[in-house]
Amino acid sequence: MVTPARLEGSSVDIALVGTYPYLPFEFTPEIAKRFHRLASARDLGPAMLVGARIRTLDRGNKQTQPSAKIENLSTQREVKLFLPRREDVDTLRPHHDGREIQLMVAPVVEALGFDLKGGDLMFLGVA
């Protein structure tokens, strides 16, 4: 692995080969820093309603934040639901019985994108 801290002034060239011609990518230390800032950025998208079934609830601990696994009923995919507060586990516990529930959520946008079918969501409330 080439990192700017270890090999100042180094660069990595990446060439993609496929059906279509691609120009090679050159990652200098400055480009790598900017790429990392962009690729590691996380934000919340606009709020939306999701029909779901709660599969698991996790109160978290000192190292992990509370979360849940839900089945998104419109996509039939299991997704991670981040819970901003531990109290949100108590809010969701009565609905952890296999029934459908309407949740107000915000998609977690990573690297300026979101997986519409299976992307992570942030819990905002029960609708």
Q: How high is the pLDDT of residue 48?
A: 93
50 and 99 belong to one structural domain: yes
Say if 120 falls within a structural domain: yes
Q: Grade residue 5 by pLDDT with cuts at 50, 70 and 90.
A: low
Q: What is the pLDDT of residues 39-56, one digit of tens each?
A: 888 899 999 999 999 999
Q: What is the pLDDT of residues 64-90, one digit of tens each?
A: 999 999 999 999 999 999 999 999 999
Q: How high is the pLDDT of residue 50?
A: 95
Instruction: Quote the CA–CA distance of 16 and 20 in Å, as a whole number.
Output: 9
35: containing domain: 12-40
Phi-psi region of 65 (alpha: psi -120 to 50; beta: other; left: phi over 0): beta
Among the listed residues 116, 111, 93, 92, the one whose alpha carbon sits nearest the alpha carbon of residue 103: 92
34 and 90 belong to one structural domain: no
